[in-house]
Chain A
């Protein structure tokens, strides 16, 4: 099972010297939101913005952008590699420890020596991120949802929406629908067909199992399953061959982060289309633009960052390799940048 695909951040090694210095700060009399501190980083929000500061710098991110990115960083357990909230702020997953940075992957900050980073034990930073996300997400706003399917994040503190931000990430152990594995999505289970997939057939395959083989002769409608996803840009494991993880997802609007790869990552476009902006992982300079239509398959190299755009809600199969050997190869610089040479 892919370690970073679990909902919770991995535990740091017992010998870890990474920081656990985090703090929940006071409630603002003006806005009602709490402030937070992790090491030298401070976080405050007001009606429209997240205000970040660190020794030697400050930064502002629109609160909708910040919350959508924070939602993915939390749900993905810091994911694979780098999660860029925007061109300045983000996290790097070291799988047990995590670096929080400002300007680390921004050419101007780096060239001027103005970038700043601190390394934390993942569990400590994750706890702070979860608390921040809970406090800063107001009632009626769902940072997992497409913008046209949710309320707005603006304004002073008004309630919360913990039900939306604590959804359990689907991680099938073998395949969706098998006995004891993650179940199918149905109306009665609270997963109606999404408005943008109203035309997707909901028929199920013919399954004729001889007595004794009911649990091995199995199939389900993956496209129907995806049409019932209530979140966007949130890959879920649906079938597993060793460390090969099929992680399909439904996508609408913008991937809320620029994902900086630390390994090769494959995208198979199952329906409709997504445009991907691809930039250099270190500098952010543009390298390519990929237009993926239904049936197209491509790889994101391990030295880029990417962000996708999907006007019509689309189905994307994200294919990951969760092998435990890969983080060590990344640390040693031996992980391949591209999956195949030809």
Chain B
């Protein structure tokens, strides 16, 4: 048995660091914690915790079943805590749901979008999965879990930087 302890965070056990200011504004560092963001927002609220021009990293608490989403480009999901299922459907007519030039994910109104079943992923902590272009996807978690999505700023991205980031020294 190894006596090494690698510390990962979780919804119930995270210890946040911070910015110790010498001569700067803490807002410049856009410092937040993905577990805290997931814990304090509604399930499947896709809150931006990182932004770089049009690109974002969204953090969300997976709990129960999410709506269906689709996207005109690849996205990737990284499970940071818990277990998350990802259900994938190849949309019969993806352009009916999202313009091919559209950026970011869009939420589908359908309870079950029309298309062929592609398959299923079950992600545990540290597992990264592909959310391929042209697919619809939804998440399901029996117990609260934390996911990050590598994507582009879009309709479902929530920005609330002043609420999630360190603003004082």
Interface of A toward B, CB cutoff 8 Å: 174-176, 178, 195-201, 203-210, 213, 216-224, 227, 238-244, 246, 264, 266, 268-273, 278, 285-301, 312, 319-321, 323, 337-342
Which chain B residues lie closer than 8 Å to A288 at the CB level?
19-24, 26, 29
Which chain A residues lie closer than 8 Å to B74 at the CB level?
174, 240-241
Q: Are A287 and B128 CB-contacts (below 8 A) given A293-B15, A342-B162?
A: no
Which chain A residues lie closer than 8 Å to B152 at the CB level?
241-242, 244
**Size class of the contact patch on chain B:** 35 or more
Stretch at the interface among B45-53, B60-68, B93-101: B45-53
Contact B130 A216 (CB under 8 A): yes
Q: Which A-chain residue is minimally distant from B117 (CB atoms)?
A: A210
Q: Which A-chain residue is minimally distant from B103 (CB atoms)?
A: A242
Contact A270 B8 (CB under 8 A): yes
The residue that B31 contacts in the complex, of A241, A287, A297, A337, with Cβ under 8 A, is A297
Smallest distance from the beta carbon of B49 to chain A beta carbons, Å?
5
Interface of B toward A, CB cutoff 8 Å: 2, 4-9, 14-24, 26-36, 49-53, 55, 57, 73-76, 78, 80, 86, 88, 90, 116-130, 132, 135, 148, 150-152, 159, 161-162, 165
Smallest distance from the beta carbon of A293 to chain B beta carbons, Å?
4
Q: Are A205 and B129 CB-contacts (below 8 A) given A295-B16, A296-B17, A297-B31?
A: yes
- Kindly state the separation between the CA atoms of A222 and B132 in the bound complex, as whole angstroms: 18
Q: Are A239 and B76 CB-contacts (below 8 A) given A273-B17, A321-B52?
A: yes
The residue that A338 contacts in the complex, of B30, B117, B122, with Cβ under 8 A, is B30
3 smallest beta-carbon distances between A and B, as pairs: A223-B126, A198-B2, A219-B129
Q: Which B-chain residue is minimally distant from A216 (CB atoms)?
A: B132
